[in-house]
């Protein structure tokens, strides 16, 4: 497995497994056990996914050495604020049954994320977390946040795929050594991603699927990826991306697919903001 080095020297696998939208305990536990068996070592969960316990139980049952794993969870908006963050972190750790966390992320840039960050900085300094970061921070908020805090975010997990490539965001993140991590590498199949003619054509050349082309294109741009699947055969497919390399020509064919826009929603849409902040854990 290839790793990326974060701005504090911590190594993070460039490929991991995401568990969004697997709220069912048995299904999530089985999916994580399958993923670990396939070889994934980075697991990406969140308090808002309601499956930290299933992830924790799968990790325990797998018997894999803790040091081999890289576990990420996230703090939801309604848990923001200095005191609440400390409490929520302990709750997540209890569910995950871990004594330290690899990466703790602010899930959204709303509410008191400065207060939360203060608590996260302290947890980091107490060595309870190996790296702290953010999600869904657009360049303006990232600059303000990084400039006004002691610890710069190690990671920014943002929607990144062929239709929303985030070149500019990544350029700004690099100023702070913030690693880009893609959520929704397949945009959950939106925009007919899996049957896209450009991606299919490239895939044929290398005898690889569209999913593999997308993941390979992302990791060749040094983007950390965490595809989700509940199907073991797809987990294997998504894992087998280290035995080929896209030519510069093929990388360039994907560039014009960028629409510069989300395939999901805009974080500056007032209705979305209201919806997000009304979602309490
Ligand atoms: P995704 O990984 O882009 O897409 C997942 C979808 O693609 C599922 O429907 C899955 O179906 C299907 N799929 C997976 N591999 C496939 C393959 N090889 N061929 C065909 N279909 C395939 O979407 P995502 O789950 O939204 O994003 C990935 C992870 O990012 C999440 O799980 C989560 O950890 C994280 N995330 C973070 C945020 C954030 O705000 N920070 C937001 C969204 C997601 P099956 O499961 O049926 O196989």
Does 211 sit in the ligand 1 pocket, CB within 6 Å? Answer: yes
Distance from the alpha carbon of residue 149 to the mean position of ligand 1, in angstroms: 32
| Distance (Å, whole) CA 154 – CA 176 | 8
Whether 76 lines ligand 1, by a CB cut-off of 6 Å, is no
Distance between CA atoms of 246 and 222, rounded to whole angstroms?
13
Best probe residue, ligand 1, of 13, 16, 18 (max atoms within 8 Å of C-beta)? 18
160 lines ligand 1 (CB under 6 A): no
Residue nearest to atom 13 of ligand 1 (CA): 229
Catalytic choice (40, 49, 113, 176): 49
Q: What is the pLDDT of residue 249?
A: 98
Residue ranges, the chain, pLDDT below 70: none
Task: Give residue limits of the domains in the chain.
Answer: 3-278
Distance from C-alpha of 213 to C-alpha of 207, rounded to nearest angstrom: 10
Ligand 1 centroid to residue 19 C-alpha, Å: 8
Rounded to the nearest 10°, the torsion over CA 69, 115, 141, 160 is 20
The whole-number pLDDT of residue 10 equals 98
Residue nearest atom 7 in ligand 1 by C-alpha distance: 188
Q: Which atom of ligand 1 is nearest to 108's Cα?
A: 40
What is the CATH architecture assignment of 3-278?
Alpha-Beta Barrel (3.20)
**Beta strand pairing status for 179-183 and 224-225?**
parallel
Chain centroid offset of residue 124 CA: 19
- With vertex at residue 59, the alpha carbon angle to CA 54 and CA 61, rounded to the nearest 5 degrees, is 90
Q: Is the CB of 187 under 6 A from ligand 1?
A: yes
- The alpha carbon of 115 and the centre of ligand 1 are apart by a number of angstroms equal to 30
The string of pLDDT tens digits covering residues 116-174 is: 999 999 999 999 999 999 999 999 999 999 999 999 999 999 999 999 999 999 999 99
Asked if 114 is an active-site residue, the reply is no
Is the minimum distance from the CB of 18 to ligand 1 under 6 angstroms? Answer: yes
Q: Is the distance from the beta carbon of residue 230 to the nearest atom of ligand 1 less than 6 Å?
A: yes
Which residues touch 32 (CB under 8 Å, ≥6 apart)? 17, 19, 43, 54, 55, 58, 59, 62
Ligand 1 contact via 38 beta carbon (within 6 Å): no
């Amino acid at each position: 497995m290839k790793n990326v080095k974060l701005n504090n020297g911590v190594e993070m696998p460039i490929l991991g497994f995401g568990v969004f939208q697997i709220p069912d305990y048995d299904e999530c536990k089985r999916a994580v056990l399958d993923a670990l068996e396939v070889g994934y070592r980075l697991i990406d969960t969140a308090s808002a996914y309601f499956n930290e316990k299933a992830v924790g139980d799968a990790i325990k049952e797998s018997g894999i050495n803790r040091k081999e794993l890289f576990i990420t969870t996230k703090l939801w908006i309604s848990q923001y604020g200095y005191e609440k963050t400390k409490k929520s972190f302990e709750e997540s750790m209890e569910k995950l049954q871990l004594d330290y966390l690899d990466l703790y992320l602010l899930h959204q840039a709303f509410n008191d994320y400065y207060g939360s960050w203060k608590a996260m900085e302290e947890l980091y300094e107490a060595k309870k977390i190996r790296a702290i970061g953010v999600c869904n921070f657009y360049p303006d908020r990232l600059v303000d946040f990084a400039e006004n805090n002691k610890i710069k975010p190690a990671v920014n997990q943002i929607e990144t795929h062929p239709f929303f490539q985030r070149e500019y965001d990544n350029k700004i993140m690099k100023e702070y050594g913030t690693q880009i991590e893609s959520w929704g590498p397949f945009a959950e199949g939106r925009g007919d991603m899996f049957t896209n003619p450009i991606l299919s054509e490239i895939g044929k050349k290398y005898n690889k699927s569209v999913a593999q082309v997308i993941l390979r294109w992302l990791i060749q741009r040094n983007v950390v990826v965490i595809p989700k699947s509940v199907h073991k055969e797809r987990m294997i497919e998504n894992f087998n991306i280290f035995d080929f390399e896209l030519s510069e020509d093929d990388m360039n064919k994907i560039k014009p697919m960028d629409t510069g826009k989300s395939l999901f929603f805009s974080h500056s849409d007032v209705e979305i903001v209201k919806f997000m902040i009304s979602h309490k854990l």
